[in-house]
Amino acid sequence: MNIKITADSTCDLSKELVEENEIEILPLYVVK
């Protein structure tokens, strides 16, 4: 079983942490 960690673009993760853990950043859009 494969697991992928994802987070939205408003998260406060460092670039190093994202790269080390292969976290996929998904864009978050606020529509008003």
pTM as predicted:
0.71
DSSP letters spanning 1-32: -----EEETT----HHHHHHTTPEEEP-----
pLDDT at 5: 96
The string of pLDDT tens digits covering residues 1-32 is: 999 999 999 999 999 999 999 999 999 998 99
The sign of the CA dihedral 22, 9, 28, 8 is positive
